[in-house]
Amino acid sequence: MYYLSFLFLREAKRIMKIDNALVERLAELSKLEFETEEKERIKTDLQNIFNLVEKLNEVNVDGVEPLIYMSEERNVLRKDVVQGEVPKVEALLNAPQKDSDYFKVPKVIKK
Amino acid sequence: MSNDKYSKYEVIVGLEVHAQLSSNSKMYCGDSAEYGAAPNTQVSPLSLGHPGTLPVVNEKAIEYAVKIGLATKSEIREENQFARKNYFYADLPKGYQITQDKTPICTNGVVEFELENELKRVRLTRIHLEEDAGKSIHDIDPYFTLVDLNRAGVPLIEIVSEPDIRSGDEAMAYLNEVRKLVRHLEICDGNMEEGSMRCDANVSVRLKGTTAYNPRSEVKNMNSMRNVKRAIEFEFIRQIDALEAGEKLVQETRGFDAIKGITLSQRSKEHAHDYRYFPEPDLPPVIVTQQYIESIKAEMPKLPAELKYEYINKFGLPEYDARLISDDKATSNYYNAIVENTQNYKAASNWLLGPIKNHLNASGKDINEFELKPKAVVALIALIDEGKTNFSVASANIFPALLLSPEKTPFEIAQALNLIQNSDEDLIGGFVQQVLAAMPEKVAEYKAGKKGLLGLFVGEVMKLSKGKADPKVVNKLIAEALS
């Protein structure tokens, strides 16, 4: 839901209208599918989120830089050293479909 | 005249080059970035996209990006942010690629190269850091796509040019220059066939003399410089044919089919990608200070153009030699190592571009695998300069024997093969008298003006000396005897 809200907030700026088309577009981008009654519920949720965020528009943010990072940390860098790999068997352990070497996924057309 | 319809148009090309950085580990985690390992053996919870993992930037990638930025005279950004580019694909387990969106580390660079004796400048829009995706394999299993995530997270730089390229040949020359740069900087091996350097081409056409752009196609899947050229030339014809037939061009992605030499539309059913970029909250900004840039500048190797200039102006090499040597990093390293210990710069170039190159070509070796140390070449040059042998004997006899016993010195080889040449003027003078006395009629012809006979006399003297007389001394003594 967090992700969907995020997408929505981005789209909302451009679209503003919470209709089935918007829900379907968001669902497509998130690879989700909704039944008709779920769509209605989601529309309500989105409307609530939208209203909440609309409140932010009431605040004057002239001259305020967007806050992206919650910490003041800068230059958190790693040395170029190989470490932290997991064995192949473990890497494949949680995969729904696999063979002894690869993850198996539904046939996809080459990008 | 069907050709006229093409000559009215020009092709407008911008290239996007992805270069895999040759770091030990990945961009945001410590998995090995080495090419060619068994599938899914260089992975970790982060590259597998498991929840709860946090990326950390590889400092080497920053260093390499600054290097290419300096080499392309780019502006280098102080505050670097990273961004998520969201898309759904099995080779990208996180569901997003961490890249740089609004803050590319390098902007406004330029790549300069020569094409048909003309200096070309291709401006660079940007160079940014990002990570590679894994590899999808479609042709092993008939029912499934197989995914290998070894490559997922390998550091990349994407070099985006302005639409400054006007032909397939220019595109090739540009790519060749970019490849030279990354190889000289030792930040990428530049191998297009293995995919460590990849190229997409944005191609459009327009009537000459006009300035507006038509919709462009973005051509992918070209795994060699030649295929980039072929794809551009195919698009030029295809787009003009379409325009002339009254069709409307659309902006689209097309794949190059190397066998048929054509491009095909890759219209996917997913309408208009929406990558939904947003700042990567898990990576704090990376600050590239002026001081840091200066420290990288101090350790920058000389680039091909600079080396070439030096070879011509400091060492007096012909332009041709200078270009061949400076083009390749390893070759220029080897050359530099030779001329550290000899003043005979042209001889060093002759050896490198002659016998050594022939030997490497014939044995399929790279200069890095060459059996002889630069010191051995220095010794060969010295042996000739001291008059103990000459170039033809040294390259035909001593050099091959030296390759078989690289631990010996050229002098030892020459001695063992009885090839040390004789510069003893008394001895050679005797041979000269003997030869001239044996063929009085030829001597008379020579004196009557048939100067071409000189070679015959020299050859006979060399024969008598069993090839060991110093040709310079022979020439000199014959000339004296006949004057």
Encode pLDDT of B209-234 as tens digits. Answer: 999 999 999 999 899 999 999 999 99
- B138/A110 CB distance under 8 A: yes
Amino acid identity for residue B180 in this structure: K
Residue A7: predicted pLDDT: 62
User: Least CA distance to B274: which residue of chain A?
Assistant: A29
**Partners of residue A106 in chain B, C-beta under 8 Å:** 144-145
How many Å apart are CA B42 and CA A84, to the nearest integer? 9
Judge whether residue A6 has pLDDT over 80: no
Average pLDDT estimate for B425-448: 88
Distance, in Å, from the CA atom of B188 to the CA atom of B22, rounded to the nearest integer, reads 5
Q: What integer is the mean pLDDT of B316-340? A: 94
- Mean pLDDT along residues B79-89: 93
pLDDT of residue A80 exceeding 70, the answer is yes
3-state percent helix, strand, coil for chain B, nearest multiple of 5? 40, 20, 40
Question: How many Cβ contacts (< 8 angstroms) between chains A and B?
Answer: 135
Instruction: List the structure tokens of B208.
Output: 């000459």
Distance in Å, alpha carbon of A9 to nearest chain B alpha carbon: 11
3-state DSSP assignment of residue B313: helix
Of B40, B45, B270, the CB nearest to A101: B40
Cα separation, A21 vs A9, whole angstroms: 15
Contacting residues of A for B278, CB less than 8 Å apart: 6, 10
Q: What average pLDDT does chain B have?
A: 93
The model's pLDDT over B339-357, given as tens digits with 9 standing for 90+, comes to 999 999 999 999 999 999 9
Q: What's the burial of A89, exposed, middle or buried (CB within 10 Å: 0-12/13-18/19+)?
A: exposed
Is a pLDDT exceeding 60 seen at residue A13? no
Stretch(es) of chain B classified as CATH 1.10.10.410: 425-482
Q: What are phi and psi of B158, to 5 degrees?
A: -110, 120
Mean per-residue pLDDT, A52-80: 89
Mean pLDDT estimate for chain A: 84
Residue B465: band (very low, low, confident or very high) from pLDDT cuts 50, 70, 90 = confident
**A91: which chain B residues are within 8 Å (Cβ-Cβ)?**
40, 43, 48, 149
The confidence band for A111, taking pLDDT boundaries of 50, 70 and 90, is: very low
- The residue with greater pLDDT, B105 or B469, is B105
Tell if the CB–CB gap between A75 and B287 is shorter than 8 Å. Answer: yes
User: Rounded to an integer, what distance in angstroms lies between the CA atom of residue B174 and that of residue B171?
Assistant: 5
Q: A-side interface with B, Cβ within 8 Å? A: 6-7, 10, 28-29, 31, 68-71, 73-88, 91-92, 97, 99, 101-111
Give the strand pairing for B118-131 and B155-161: antiparallel
Optimal mutation site among A6, A78, A92, A104, interface B, most CBs of chain B within 10 A: A78
Compare all CA atoms of chain B with the CA of A98 and give the residue at the minimum distance: B146
**Residue of A73, A80, A104 lying closest to B141 (CB–CB):** A104
**C-beta atoms of A73 and B284 within 8 A:** yes
Contacts of A74 in chain B (CB under 8 A): 284-287
pLDDT band of residue B476 (cuts 50, 70, 90) is confident
Nearest CA in chain A to B42: A85
In one-letter notation, the amino acid at residue B407 is E
Q: For B435-464, what is the mean pLDDT? A: 88
Q: What is the pLDDT of residue B228?
A: 97
Q: What are phi and psi of B381, to 5 degrees?
A: -60, -40
* Lookup: tokens for B371: 């059996």
3-class secondary structure, A59: coil
Q: Closest chain B residue to A92 measured between Cα atoms?
A: B40
Q: Which of B28, B40, B275, B283 to mutate to test the interface with A (most CBs of A within 10 A)?
A: B40
Question: How many other CB atoms are there within 10 angstroms of residue B66's CB atom?
Answer: 22
At residue A50, what is the residue type? Answer: F
Cα–Cα distance, B208 to B11 (Å, whole number) = 9
pLDDT of residue B447: 87
**Coil, helix or strand at residue B206:** strand
Q: Is B264 helix (H, G, I), strand (E, B) or coil?
A: strand
Interface confidence (ipTM) of the complex? 0.81
Query: Average pLDDT in the B256-281 region?
Result: 83
Q: In what order do the strands lie in the sheet with B252-257?
A: B75-76, B106-115, B118-131, B155-161, B9-20, B197-207, B217-222, B252-257, B262-265
pLDDT value at residue B268:
58
pLDDT at B269: 47
- Which residues in chain B touch residue A65, judged by CB atoms under 8 angstroms apart? none
Does A104 contact B38 at a Cβ distance shorter than 8 Å? no
Q: Are strands B217-222 and B252-257 parallel, antiparallel or unpaired?
A: parallel
pLDDT surpassing 80 at residue A10: no
Q: Name which of A64-73, B110-119, B169-178, B318-327 the model is least confident about.
A: A64-73
Gap from A8 CA to chain B (nearest CA, Å):
11
Segment 272-311 of chain B within 8 Å of chain A by CB:
274, 276, 278-279, 281, 283-287
Inspect the interface and report whether the beta carbons of B40 and A106 lie closer than 8 Å.
no
Q: What is the pLDDT of residues B304-315, one digit of tens each?
A: 999 999 999 999
Q: State yes or no: pLDDT of B467 exceeds 90.
A: no
Which residues does residue B265 pair with via DSSP β-bridges, in sequence order? B254
Going by pLDDT thresholds of 50, 70 and 90, the confidence category of residue B1 is: very low
Distance CA B91, CA B135 (A): 6
B265-279 average pLDDT score: 75
| Structure-token pair, residue B434 | 């003997």
Domain B425-482: give its CATH architecture. Answer: Orthogonal Bundle (1.10)
The answer to whether the Cβ–Cβ distance between B281 and A104 falls below 8 Å is: no
Residue B176 scores a pLDDT above 80: yes
Answer whether B144 touches A (CB < 8 Å): yes
So what's the pLDDT on residue A66? 84
Residue B91 pLDDT > 60:
yes
**Residue that wins the pLDDT comparison between A7 and B66:** B66
Query: How distant is the alpha carbon of residue B225 from its chain centre?
Result: 11
B286 contact residues in A (CB cutoff 8 A): 74-75, 77
User: How much of chain B exceeds pLDDT 70, in percent?
Assistant: 98
How high is the pLDDT of residue B466? 80
pLDDT at site B425: 81
Helix (H, G, I), strand (E, B) or coil at B120: strand
Whether the predicted pLDDT of B151 surpasses 50: yes
List Cβ neighbours of A15 (8 Å cut-off, separation of 6 or more): A22
